Amino acid sequence: MIPLTALTGSHFIKAWLGVVKGHAMLWSHGMQHGDPSLSNIAYDPIAGQGALLDFDLSIPKRPHPRLAGTMPFMAVDLLDIDYWTGIKERLYHHELEALIWILPFVFLRYQDGRETPEEITDGWMSEDYNLVCVKKNDFWSAQGLVKVITAMKTKLDYAKEWPLASNLLYMAQETHTQAVGSGSITVRRGGPVISTLQELWTEFLDMMNQVAEQIKGLEYLKPLIEELEEVDSYK
């Protein structure tokens, strides 16, 4: 296994999508990983695909599993006291959002496989979940994403892939905002579930298809998406 950040551009995205797929399969079989983050994914050069690591965190889904999470990649909704005190449940949309947060983190911090300090994402590495919540809310706002583009902060290795990250963040934010508005995102014992895995998976693939069709240079996503669409384990 080698770090996923040893890959760049389309190779990184292909491996990342393999992780997203594997994670969804795990969830569909009643297991949640608990901490999908950059340190828990890797590239298997023999299999030629991304892999999800640290399966000791993969536990049967139940109302209050062992709390876990790596701050820079945690869903915004979990960056509050309700999660850390075991009141709020971790749902699939939280874990999918965590996987999506990997993209901007890598795109802004990594070049030629090496990590460099970067002002925006440095703020996500605090141990204060309230501060990280504020920083990430600011980042995925329209103004925040424009700041990234204006400052040309995306590393050259991933400049072409930035529209994918920004569009998936938009999707994740919409899911978050809709759920907060309906009150269903603060899930407590016996509370409602925002969406099924199948519904969220369909939204994810729809957004991927839109990006592949509309963004020049990302046409290579189409066959990768077709592979994901063939999966019926989530239905």
Domain of residue 180, CATH code: 1.10.510
Q: What is the pLDDT of residue 65?
A: 44
Domain holding 96, by residue range, is 2-229
| 2: phi then psi, degrees, rounded to nearest 5 | -130, 155
Query: Within a domain: residue 234?
Result: no
Is residue 25 in some structural domain? yes
Residue 144 within any structural domain of the chain = yes
235 assigned to some structural domain:
no
Q: Are 225 and 209 in contact (CB under 8 A)?
A: yes
Whether 75 is in a domain gets the answer yes
| Residue 213 counted as domain residue | yes
The structural domain count of the chain equals 1
- Its pTM stands at 0.87
pLDDT at 185: 41
Q: Check if the beta carbon of residue 197 is closer than 8 Å to that of residue 27.
A: yes
In a domain, 205, yes or no: yes
pLDDT tens for the chain, 235 residues long, are: 999 999 999 999 999 999 999 998 888 887 776 788 999 999 999 999 999 987 554 444 444 444 456 899 999 999 999 888 888 888 889 999 999 999 999 999 999 999 998 988 999 999 999 999 999 999 998 777 877 876 667 888 999 999 999 999 999 999 888 766 655 443 333 334 446 778 899 999 999 999 999 999 999 999 999 999 876 545 5
Residue 164, in any domain of the structure? yes
